[in-house]
Amino acid sequence: MPNVPPHVVIVGGGFAGLEATRALARDPVRITLIDRGNHHLFQPLLYQVATAGLSSADIAAPLRHILRRQRNVEVRMAEVEGIDADARTLTLDGGLTLGFDHLVLAAGATHAYFGNDHWAAHAPGLKTLDDALHLRRRMLIAFERAEAERDPEARAAWLSFAVVGGGPTGVELAGTLAEIARRTLRREFRNIDPAQAQVRLIEAGDRVLSSFPEDLSQRAQAQLERLGVKVLTGAPVTDLDAEGYCRDGQRVAARTVIWAAGVAASPLGALLDAPRDRAGRVRVTPELTVPGRPWLHVAGDLAAVESDGRPVPGIAPAAKQMGRHVAANIRAALGGRRASPFVYRDHGNLATIGRMAAVVHLGRLKLSGVVAWWFWLFAHVFFLIGFRNRMVVLLNWTVSYWTDQRAARIILGPAPEVGPRAQIEDAAAQASDSMAARPSTPDASPD
């Protein structure tokens, strides 16, 4: 048998998986990077695609293209269907089986509905580009339906938006939604005033951005309220359907509910036969491996690990650090050296809120408002992959902030996806009735 270099299989082309792949560029290994999509996604800007500020291609790049010069890696677009931890094999969709010497599982996270999976249809979450385009369609169509609706109550329901979950994603989405309603859509409708839209941000805990110090949470809430968001803390959503939600014993009409509350680890974690925490994350050793199986590495949002006695947060910089660390441990193992424990280096915490508003927490430094926003902008644009992406994103944002416009307000895909079909037809029938009854519309008659 020829002398074949060890095979490292990396599952997931997100921050952790891509960083591990790159860190092994000069090592004598063969790498197979498996992802079910064809692209690396710059997830921190995903909310901008959902809110029509950026296009998909602005925040994503094909993995093949990013890695085209790294000759020791083969990129494969496929789904993982099974892992045999001891035989060291992995099965892909279609039945192909790959052997490996080391496996890096970096499959990330998905949204969780805490046992209420039927809510998913009414309150979509935001983890992938397809999720973002779906949210964009829902949001834009809600304003279209409101414009066509003649019944004031039904119209108000279309103009009622709720974001569930006061973490960074929820805060970004709520702030941007308010901005769209108050600024972007101004003057474009004839029957509604988009600024009348209600944007509610619902947080079960007692403050938004709970991973930040308390005073920054307060400042974030004040900035959200200035943008027109109603912030509701201290009680969770208890029910949800296509027409609205219940909270604190009250039913609120809202045709667009967005889920930013729960995160669960990728189901691939369950294939590992290893202990997991409540969110489904794999409880790894300090060396980021599965206990007793040092050839199984877990990195990124899928790994539950502590550093300095505190859990490592599920954010991009932590995922990148884990990816690099896992690569170093693989290198050590192949060289006969011992693996080292992971130490998280906290480079700070950022969250954007909306137009010229953000909060930044960096050690002792706390920023909020315009300064924090500029900090956030440059940090994010700097880390985008690819020169073109940076240029396009900066250009889009420059034009947006001068004109209040958002570039990507294009509805793609099949239109009526807001709730069950029957309800849409009901709403339309009501529109028809009430329009016919409207005295100032002499040319409208019921069919």
> Tokens standing for 210?
């709970």
Q: Which residues within the stretch 31-70 sit at the binding site for a copy of itself (CB under 8 A)?
A: 36-39, 52, 55-58, 60-62, 64-65, 68-69
Q: How far apart are CA 435 and CA 201, in angstroms?
A: 33
Pairing of strands 303-304, 282-283: parallel
For a copy of itself, the closer CB: 242 or 435: 435
Does the footprint of a copy of itself cover residue 437 (CB under 8 A)? Answer: no
Are the C-beta atoms of 200 and 254 separated by less than 8 Å? yes
Residue with tokens 């509910």: 257
Does the footprint of a copy of itself cover residue 233 (CB under 8 A)? Answer: no
Are the C-beta atoms of 263 and 109 separated by less than 8 Å? yes
Q: Which of 225, 413, 421, 438 binds a copy of itself (CB under 8 A)?
A: 413
Residue type for 357, please? A
Pairing of strands 237-241, 229-233: unpaired
Does the footprint of a copy of itself cover residue 345 (CB under 8 A)? Answer: no
Q: Which of 7, 230, 276, 366 binds a copy of itself (CB under 8 A)?
A: 7
Residue type for 117, please? D
Dihedral of CA 128/132/134/138: which sign? positive
Q: Which stretch binds a copy of itself (CB under 8 A): 255-263, 306-314, 332-340, 433-441?
A: 433-441
Q: Which of 25, 85, 98, 328 binds a copy of itself (CB under 8 A)?
A: 98
Q: Which residues within the stretch 287-326 sit at the binding site for a copy of itself (CB under 8 A)?
A: none
For a copy of itself, the closer CB: 338 or 402: 402
The DSSP symbol for 420 reads: -
Dihedral angle over CA of 128, 133, 137, 143, nearest 10: 90
| Per-residue binder mask for a copy of itself (CB under 8 A), 375-404, x = binder | ------------xx--xx--xx--x-----
For a copy of itself, the closer CB: 38 or 218: 38
Q: How far is the CB of 424 from a copy of itself (least distance, A)?
A: 8
Q: Which residues pair with 90 in a beta bridge?
A: 83, 98
Q: How far is the CB of 46 from a copy of itself (least distance, A)?
A: 13
Q: Which of 27, 147, 151, 346 binds a copy of itself (CB under 8 A)?
A: 147
Are the C-beta atoms of 79 and 36 separated by less than 8 Å? yes
Q: How far apart are CA 230 and CA 221, in angstroms?
A: 9
Does the footprint of a copy of itself cover residue 347 (CB under 8 A)? Answer: no
Q: Which of 347, 410, 420, 437 binds a copy of itself (CB under 8 A)?
A: 410
Q: How far is the CB of 439 from a copy of itself (least distance, A)?
A: 9
Q: How far apart are CA 294 and CA 49, in angstroms?
A: 39
For a copy of itself, the closer CB: 322 or 418: 418
Does the footprint of a copy of itself cover residue 431 (CB under 8 A)? Answer: yes
Are the C-beta atoms of 102 and 329 separated by less than 8 Å? no
Residue from 36, 263, 259 nearest 135 by CA: 259
Which of the following is catalytic: 79, 144, 149, 172? 172
Segment (H or E) for 441: none
Q: How many CA atoms lie within 13 A of 311 on its CB side?
A: 13
For a copy of itself, the closer CB: 65 or 283: 65
- Collapsed DSSP state (helix, strand, coil) of residue 372: helix
Does the footprint of a copy of itself cover residue 196 (CB under 8 A)? Answer: no
Pairing of strands 365-368, 80-84: unpaired
For a copy of itself, the closer CB: 105 or 129: 129
For a copy of itself, the closer CB: 81 or 241: 81
Pairing of strands 73-77, 30-35: parallel
Does the footprint of a copy of itself cover residue 21 (CB under 8 A)? Answer: no
Q: Which of 28, 99, 213, 286 binds a copy of itself (CB under 8 A)?
A: 99
Q: Is 172 a catalytic residue?
A: yes
Q: Which residues within the stretch 257-286 sit at the binding site for a copy of itself (CB under 8 A)?
A: none
For a copy of itself, the closer CB: 91 or 116: 91
- Which positions are catalytic? 172
